[in-house]
Amino acid sequence: MALITTSPAEFAAAVASGRLAGFDVGTKTIGLATCDAEWRFAGPAETIRRTKFTQDLEQLRQFVSKNSIGGLIVGLPLNMDGSDSPRTQSVRAFARNLAPLGLPILLWDERWSTVAVERAMIEADVSRAKRAEKVDALAAAHILQGAIDALANISSPLDGEDAENGSSANEPDFPHGVG
């Protein structure tokens, strides 16, 4: 069974190599993003319309294969107080159902990701129609960038000490730079 964790350190240890993919899982769509093989820069890829899970899984399998993906970052929609919601449970189940892909999965706090992306697009004067078309893939990229930033801190010790320094890497500053 593939690893599913909220720990960036466990995830980093489990990923053999390759690019990472970020998923923003919604009820109607899944936003997809990728990053470079060095895990520095995330960018939006595409949005797939959800149908039956077996068909969704096949589309995701093709995406993973086409992009040489070595690990998955799945946005976890927590309540504002950090607790689980019914939507959180649905995303956890979705992640478990990705087991046939055989890739390690990092569940990453996605609070504020869509809000941050919407704000940035409004500030850039993107039309409402274009925002609706792009928001899921951009939210996936936002989620993925937050995760790879945390992973970079884990894999590179600071001043001879472990970069984790006792705080959870999945607890970003208010929130993912939004505020």
pLDDT at 123 over 90: no
Burial class (CB in 10 A: 0-12, 13-18, 19+), 114: buried
pLDDT category at 1 given cuts 50, 70, 90 is: low
pLDDT at 153 over 90: no
Summarised one tens digit per residue, pLDDT across range 71-107 is: 999 999 998 898 998 899 999 999 999 999 999 999 9
User: Strand 105-109 vs strand 42-49: parallel, antiparallel, or unpaired?
Assistant: unpaired
Give dist(CA 14, CA 8) in Å, integer.
Answer: 10
What average pLDDT does the segment 37-45 reach? 95
Domains of the chain: 13-154 (3.30.420.140)
The predicted structure's pLDDT at residue 165: 41
The predicted structure's pLDDT at residue 114: 73
What average pLDDT does the segment 118-135 reach? 81
Q: Name, in order, each residue with C-beta under 8 angstroms of 153's C-beta and a sequence gap of 6 or more.
A: 163, 164, 169
pLDDT category at 58 given cuts 50, 70, 90 is: very high
CB 140 within 8 A of CB 25: no
